Structures are given as structure tokens and as C-alpha cells.
């Protein structure tokens, strides 16, 4: 079969057989974030380009190489969002959320777009879960944000992650660090890639984040930022460490973490895995104390993180972490004849209104074909409704797993089925609990 077109490189389809895994992850993330006081925000998929060049930084790989930017019919430069923080901060300012009690705790599930070489865990259209905490300078907030990430992985059962933290200082103490980096890299200027030569004068910290193997090797011996941070930044970082120690969260200080976006200040952190290839950072974030002011607001100390959902899913599969089963069909009604079909439709409507999954034939299949279809979709129960059942007022409910038949009155079928289904589930759950260990988080 020759298709007209296929999915664009770097994008992927999420099929019905897979979507329940994403739904489980997404609902879990929103619920956990809600327990920490975060409320969901949704922002447009595209923004004015200057929002990202100003926020993300025009010396970053994201802005220089990866953004999807185009001119709309009004002649405006528009960009598909490459990350979630910029839009959330823009909305915070535009809608006056700074007038509400601070800190404002926002979270989001969002699609993002970057033109990168596709590989496992890195797509051109990808999805993130992010949180933003706007309006607090306290190191306790840094620790709380990190603990939220730690709690997410613990809840989902993800193991073997390394939490790495660092401080990249404030804008004031970073000036000394920039001077030291310039001096170091100027001596090796002839070996740097063209992009990093341009960065050398404007923002030498970006060289530390370069993906070029040659530049990465040179950067490995560059001055360390922790040797240059001022006393207030040093004290802030020590307090963050103290709070993490108090919560028994294991971490290590990695002075090479700078993150890939220019808005970060002071605390930066990453949760890293070595089980999913080169794209090992599953969650990353930190402070961005100057970003709100950069967009025209009052100085508002803030912080947040983002995690890649594709990478998280990849890691959960690599570790064999079980997902809750996809909700199946509770009962498949097999009508025989026009009168029976009308009654079956009414029964299905009543069952669905009660929160159950009920299906019936909409393709004109024979009774035999309907039975086969019910088996293929994994229907828990089937019930045949024909003239005999309509006249006799009694239905035979078949439990597909064992073939057991239960008779129930036609007129009270929905109510009786609810009771039968609950009773069956309770018995099977008790048998499972008595026979083997069950992960109680899934029930």
C-alpha cells in the first residue's frame, strides 16, 4: 500500500494501545503536583519569537539552531514553543498573577518543538511536564521543588537515578567567572567550533554546554563555577543542601552542570539515568531569579523544572515498571433483531451513565461474529438479547473468563450488573492478595 504521506521525521503517533500509559503518567504527575500546591496552567503552542530569544538566550543552541520560527500572514515572527517556562512567565505577567498570593505555583503538561537530530529520548515534537514557583527567594523552595521530582520518581517506581546539583551563582558573582572562562578558552580558541568562538565574547558559559566532542573535551578542564560564587550564593546553596539532607534525599554536587538555557541563576539540578543512552537527563531545572524582570515585570525570584515525558516512558519501559491495565469493556451486549437492538442501546446508555464500559454491535455482524469480537476486545461479560429474552424478561450474563452464566431480570439489568461486577472484582482481588504480593499503589 502506497501512502500519500507519513508522519514527519522526529514526530510520533501515540496509538490507543499505548495511550493508557501516558494517561497514567500524566494524571499521576498532576495529582502529585497538586499535593504540593501546584495548579495547572495552559499556554499557546506558539508565541512571539522575541519571548524565547529574550528568555532562553540568543547564544543557546535552542535559539541559534533548534527553534521552529516562521512569519505569519501579518508579518510577525512566530515560534513554536521550545520549552514551557517562558510562556508560563509571560502568562504570569500578562494576567497579573503577581497580584495574587505569592509564591504562585503553576504546573503544566505541554508539547514542545525543537529541530534536533531525532534519536531515542529526543524528538522534534516532544512533551514535558513542568512546574514553576514564582515569587520566593527561599532555599527551602529550591529543596521543595527538588523533593517534588524525587517524590514523582519514587511514586512511579523509577530507580537508579542520580540527583546532581550545582550553583551557577547570581548575575553579579558570575562576572568574575565569565572573566576566568574567557581567559581559559581564549588560549584554546583555535580548537573551538565556530559557534563557541562566537559565544566566547558574549556568553562563555554556553561553551560548557556545547555538544561538540572537541569543545566538550576542552571544557572538561575549564574553571569551576563554585570557586567563583559570592558569599550569599554560597550560603544559599549550603542551605539547599541542608534541607535535602534533612529530607534524606541523596544527591551529589556536580560543578559542571550549567543547564542549556540562559535564564538560570544559583541552584541548578538534574535527575540523570544511565539506562536510556545519551539522553540521560530525565528532569532538570533550577532558579531563574531575573527572568520575570527581563520580561518587563517587577523583580520576582522564581524557580522550576521540566521533565521529558518520552524519556520518562523510555526509562520506565527499560526498568520493566508495570502500568495499570487499560480499562476494558465491562459488558458487550449482543442484540438479535431490530427490537432487541433498541433495547440494547437503552441498556448500554444506562450502564455508561453509571460509569461502566458497555459496547454493542454497530457494524451489522452476526451473533457468532459479535461473540468473536467481544472476545477480541477482552470484554469481561457478554449478554445476548433476542426475542426470547425480551418476551421472557430474563437475561443470561456470561463471564468470559470462566464461562459462568448468571441469570438476571431484564428490567433491573444495569443495577444488578453493577452489583455482580463489583462482587466479582472483590473476590478476584482477595484471591490475588492471598496468593501473591500485589503492588498496592496500583489499587
Does the structure show a pLDDT above 90 at 368? yes
- 36-41, long-range: CB within 8 Å, 24+ apart, which pairs? 36/105, 36/131, 36/144, 36/148, 37/105, 38/105, 38/106, 38/107, 38/131, 38/133, 38/148, 39/105, 39/106, 39/107, 40/106, 40/107, 40/108, 40/109, 41/88, 41/91, 41/106, 41/107, 41/108
pLDDT of residue 41: 98
Strand blocks (E) in 84-192 = 104-113, 125-134, 162-167
Does the structure show a pLDDT above 50 at 432? yes
371/348 Cα distance (integer angstroms): 17
234/256 Cα distance (integer angstroms): 16
Which candidate, 214, 13, 244, places its Cα nearest to that of 143? 244
User: 331 near 351, Cβ under 8 Å?
Assistant: yes
The pLDDT confidence band at residue 307, using thresholds 50, 70 and 90, is: very high
Residue 385: phi and psi, rounded to 5, are -125, 105
Does the structure show a pLDDT above 80 at 428? no
Local structure of 154: helix, strand or coil: helix
pLDDT of residue 260: 63
Does the structure show a pLDDT above 50 at 440? no
Question: Greater confidence, 60 or 334?
Answer: 334
91/85 Cα distance (integer angstroms): 10
| Helix %, strand %, coil % of the chain (to 5) | 45, 20, 35
Average pLDDT over residues 43-66: 88
395 bridge partner residues: 408
Q: Which domains does the chain have, with CATH numbers?
A: 16-173+229-318 (3.30.930.10), 331-433 (3.40.50.800)
Local structure of 411: helix, strand or coil: coil
The pLDDT confidence band at residue 201, using thresholds 50, 70 and 90, is: confident
- 364-367, long-range: CB within 8 Å, 24+ apart, which pairs? 367/334, 367/336
383/316 Cα distance (integer angstroms): 38
335 bridge partner residues: 385
pLDDT of residue 279: 65
34/335 Cα distance (integer angstroms): 45
User: 158 near 308, Cβ under 8 Å?
Assistant: no
b/e per residue 276-304 (b: at least 16 CB within 10 A): beeebbbbbbbbbbbbbeebebeebbbbb
Residue labelled with grid coordinates 431490530: 338
125 bridge partner residues: 113
Does the structure show a pLDDT above 50 at 441? no
pLDDT digit string (tens) for 131-171? 999 999 999 999 999 999 999 999 999 999 999 999 999 98
Residue 9: phi and psi, rounded to 5, are -55, 130
Does the structure show a pLDDT above 60 at 37? yes
Q: How many helices (H) and strands (E) does the chain have?
A: 15, 16
User: 442 near 322, Cβ under 8 Å?
Assistant: yes
Does the structure show a pLDDT above 90 at 9? yes
pLDDT of residue 203: 83
pLDDT of residue 430: 67
pLDDT of residue 159: 94
Inter-CA distances, 245 with 222, 256, 426, Å: 29, 21, 42
Which candidate, 31, 134, 29, 125, places its Cα nearest to that of 91? 134
Question: Greater confidence, 181 or 144?
Answer: 144
Question: Greater confidence, 172 or 259?
Answer: 172
Largest CA distance in the chain: 94
pTM (2 d.p.): 0.87
Residue 15: phi and psi, rounded to 5, are -85, 160
Average pLDDT over residues 328-335: 94
pLDDT of residue 435: 63
172/254 Cα distance (integer angstroms): 21
User: What DSSP designation does 324 have?
Assistant: P
pLDDT digit string (tens) for 337-357? 999 999 999 999 999 998 999
Inter-CA distances, 78 with 67, 68, 71, 175, Å: 10, 8, 6, 33
DSSP sequence for 347-388: HHHHHHHTT--EEE--S---HHHHHHHHHHTT-SEEEEE-HH
127 bridge partner residues: 111
The pLDDT confidence band at residue 429, using thresholds 50, 70 and 90, is: low
Amino acid at each position: 500500500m502506497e501512502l500519500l504521506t507519513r508522519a514527519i521525521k522526529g514526530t510520533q503517533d501515540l496509538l490507543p494501545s499505548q495511550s493508557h500509559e501516558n494517561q497514567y503518567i500524566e494524571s499521576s504527575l498532576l495529582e502529585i503536583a497538586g499535593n504540593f500546591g501546584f495548579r495547572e496552567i495552559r499556554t499557546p503552542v506558539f508565541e512571539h519569537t522575541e519571548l524565547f530569544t529574550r528568555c532562553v538566550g540568543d547564544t543557546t543552541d535552542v535559539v541559534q539552531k533548534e527553534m521552529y520560527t516562521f512569519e505569519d500572514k501579518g508579518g510577525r515572527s512566530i515560534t513554536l514553543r521550545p520549552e514551557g517556562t517562558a510562556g508560563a512567565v509571560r502568562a504570569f505577567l500578562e494576567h497579573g498573577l503577581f497580584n495574587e498570593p505569592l509564591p504562585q505555583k503553576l504546573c503544566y503538561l505541554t508539547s514542545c518543538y525543537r529541530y534536533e537530530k531525532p534519536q531515542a529520548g529526543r524528538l522534534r515534537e516532544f512533551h514535558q511536564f513542568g512546574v514553576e514557583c514564582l515569587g520566593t527567594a527561599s532555599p527551602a523552595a529550591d529543596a521543595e521543588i527538588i523533593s517534588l521530582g524525587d517524590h514523582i520518581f519514587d511514586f512511579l517506581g523509577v530507580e537508579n537515578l542520580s540527583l546532581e546539583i550545582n550553583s551557577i551563582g547570581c548575575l553579579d558573582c558570575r562576572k568574575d567567572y565569565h572573566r576566568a572562562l574567557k581567559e581559559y578558552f581564549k588560549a584554546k580558541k583555535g580548537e573551538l567550533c565556530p559557534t563557541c568562538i562566537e559565544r566566547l565574547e558574549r556568553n562563555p558559559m554556553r561553551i560548557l554546554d556545547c555538544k561538540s566532542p572537541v569543545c566538550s573535551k576542552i571544557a572538561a578542564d575549564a574553571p569551576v563555577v563554585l570557586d567563583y560564587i559570592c558569599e550569599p550564593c554560597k550560603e544559599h546553596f549550603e542551605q539547599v543542601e541542608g534541607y535535602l539532607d534533612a529530607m534524606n534525599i541523596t544527591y551529589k554536587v556536580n560543578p559542571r552542570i550549567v543547564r542549556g538555557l540562559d535564564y538560570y541563576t544559583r541552584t541548578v539540578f538534574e535527575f540523570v539515568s544511565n539506562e536510556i543512552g545519551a539522553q540521560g537527563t530525565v528532569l532538570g531545572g533550577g532558579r531563574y531569579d531575573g527572568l520575570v524582570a527581563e520580561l518587563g515585570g517587577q523583580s520576582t525570584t522564581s524557580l522550576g523544572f521540566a521533565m521529558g515525558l518520552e524519556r520518562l516512558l523510555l526509562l520506565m519501559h527499560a526498568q520493566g515498571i508495570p502500568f495499570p491495565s487499560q480499562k476494558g469493556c465491562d459488558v458487550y451486549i449482543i442484540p438479535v433483531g431490530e427490537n432487541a437492538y433498541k433495547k440494547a442501546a437503552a441498556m448500554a446508555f444506562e450502564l455508561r451513565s453509571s460509569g461502566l464500559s458497555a459496547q454493542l454491535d454497530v457494524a451489522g455482524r452476526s451473533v457468532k461474529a459479535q461473540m468473536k469480537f467481544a472476545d477480541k476486545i477482552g470484554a469481561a461479560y457478554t449478554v445476548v438479547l433476542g426475542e426470547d429474552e425480551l418476551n421472557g424478561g430474563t437475561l443470561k450474563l456470561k463471564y468470559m473468563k470462566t464461562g459462568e452464566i448468571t441469570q438476571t431480570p431484564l428490567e433491573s439489568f444495569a443495577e444488578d450488573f453493577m452489583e455482580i461486577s463489583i462482587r466479582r472484582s472483590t473476590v478476584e482481588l482477595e484471591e490475588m492478595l492471598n496468593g501473591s504480593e500485589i503492588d498496592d499503589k496500583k489499587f
